[in-house]
Amino acid sequence: MGLSQRNKINVSAGMSSMTDLVFLLLIFFIIISTLVKNGVNVELPSSESSTSANPSTIVSVTKDGKYHVNSKEVNKEDVKYELSKALLNQEKKVVYLQIDEAVPTGSTVELIGMAKANDWKVMIGANKK
């Protein structure tokens, strides 16, 4: 009595579709991560400590003396106006300074003085040692 079934169904999942999906996700995240921009590239000085706050207004000064407010290049004379405009509707008026280590200290002191005159809090960016 041969009652056994001749056509057995093979129940196994193919891994090729799973690897295709993983590669598509990998490509998606690589493309998205390159589109995300966090300010201007500057060589920050080193420090022993760091902070984890996330201010929404970033002022960057590159080594060739170009000023950027939230990634928008502005003239040195227009920095105060652009900062005032950026901080207008913010509850916490915090300015994050990303200043290249090759920039003279006078430029940094001018920006800190401007912030102090307007009662803005200042954070200075640095790389952790």
As a whole number, the mean pLDDT across the chain is: 80
Residue 25 clears pLDDT 90, i.e. is over it: yes
| Structure confidence at residue 107 (pLDDT) | 85
pLDDT tens per residue, range 48-100: 666 655 667 888 888 888 898 888 888 888 888 888 888 888 888 888 888 88
For helices 105-117 and 79-86, angle between their N-to-C axes, nearest 10 degrees: 50
Beta-carbon count within 10 A of 72 CB: 10
Q: Is 10 helix (H, G, I), strand (E, B) or coil?
A: coil
Residue 129 clears pLDDT 60, i.e. is over it: no
Max alpha carbon distance in the chain (Å)?
A: 99
Confidence of residue 27 (pLDDT cuts 50, 70, 90): very high
- Mean pLDDT confidence for 116-129: 79
**110: buried, middle or exposed (CB in 10 Å: 19+, 13-18, 0-12)?**
middle
- Mean pLDDT confidence for 105-116: 87
Q: What are phi and psi of 102, to 5 degrees?
A: -85, -10
Alpha helices, H only, the chain: 16-35, 79-86, 105-117
Residue 38 clears pLDDT 80, i.e. is over it: no
Q: Using a pLDDT cut of 70, give the percent of the chain over it.
A: 75
CATH code given to domain 46-128:
3.30.420.270
Q: What is the DSSP letter of 44?
A: P
To the nearest 10°, report the CA torsion of 66, 72, 76, 81: -170
Q: What kind and span of H or E run contains 47?
A: strand 46-47
Give this prediction's pTM.
0.58
The angle subtended at Cα 63 by Cα 35 and Cα 60, nearest 5°, is: 50
Sequence spans of domains, the chain: 46-128
